[in-house]
Amino acid sequence: MRSAVWLSEGARAAVHALKYGGLPRIADDMAAAMGGLSDRTIGSSALVPIPLAPKRLRQRGYNQSDALARALGRQWKVPVLPHLLARTRETPTQTALTPETRLANVAGAFAVAHKPRPPWPVLVLVDDVFTTGATLAEAARALEQAGATGVMGITFARAAIPDFT
């Protein structure tokens, strides 16, 4: 799991603009910051955006993780598999949840919609923010249960885990 930046004020503003500000084009700038996350495995991989719940997709009009994945795909010249993973159910937003409840919130929330053709040696999950890793871990579990042999995750930002005690 790799992230390009810490979730500082500037990064938080970029994520907010992407998710809630109706600015999917900012994904190109965020992907530019993520360019250094590439390594030699990326060339033989495919990018898999974390799917957005249908209700949120209707509200936003786009999936922020898909916008990031497509921008990275153009930059790294690798394919994006936007429909490989699907949400199996709506989940409440994770922003105010504790680490423990985040895990329970996304348990069983993803499934592989179809087997990727060709089978890629590495599938790279793409999301905007890594907080506890619950979302990426659950998505990776779904891919691995469907037979994926190499799964890694990348995000634009990494949040410091809040102290809920």
Supply the pLDDT for residue 165: 52
pLDDT, residue 44, reads 74
Give the residue with greater pLDDT, 75 vs 120: 75
Mean pLDDT across the stretch 47-52?
96
Measured CA to CA, the distance from residue 33 to residue 30 in angstroms comes to: 5
Average pLDDT rounded to a whole number, residues 42-71? 92
For domain 2-158, the question of CATH label 3.40.50 is answered with yes
Tell me: pLDDT of 143 over 90.
yes
Higher-pLDDT residue of 90 and 145 is 145
pLDDT at position 161: 63
Residue 32, SS3?
Answer: helix
Task: Say whether pLDDT at 162 is over 70.
Answer: no
Convert the pLDDT of each residue in 64-107 to its tens digit.
999 999 999 999 999 999 999 999 988 767 777 777 777 777 88
Predicted confidence at residue 164, as pLDDT, reads 56
**DSSP notation for 96-151:** T--HHHHHHHHTT-EEESS--SSPPSEEEEEEEEESSSHHHHHHHHHHHHTT-S-E
What average pLDDT does range 111-133 have in this prediction?
Answer: 88
Length of the chain: 165
Average pLDDT over residues 156-161: 87
